[in-house]
Structure 1
Amino acid sequence: ENAGDVLLRTIITDLFIKEQDAIELLKWKEIFERLEQAIDVCESVSNIVGGIVLKHD
């Protein structure tokens, strides 16, 4: 998840440097932010499943 945060910051920085079209910039920024949110949710699910496995092992 931390790697996802670092990657998001890097991609967003790169996007703002390279993208000239404001609408495209906003579209891609939203896509990348939602992907990062999905990574966060996957981490949460992983933690829950891991807790269940440990509890019932």
Structure 2
Amino acid sequence: MTVKTVAEVLQVSTKTVLRRIASSELIAVRDGRLLRVRAADLDHYLATRRG
């Protein structure tokens, strides 16, 4: 998923997603110039965030 898609799913801005990636709260991989978040990593983030 792109950063924009993740932002839409989480209902936050793209800057917030980028901050969470920078702080290692959310795992992303670089695909050329783009950052991508795997669906499994987003699911893990959501599961750990909710407790």
TM-score by length of 1: 0.30
Structure with higher Rg: it is 1
Structure whose residues are more often helix by fraction:
1
Structure whose residues are more often strand by fraction:
2
TM-score by length of 2: 0.32
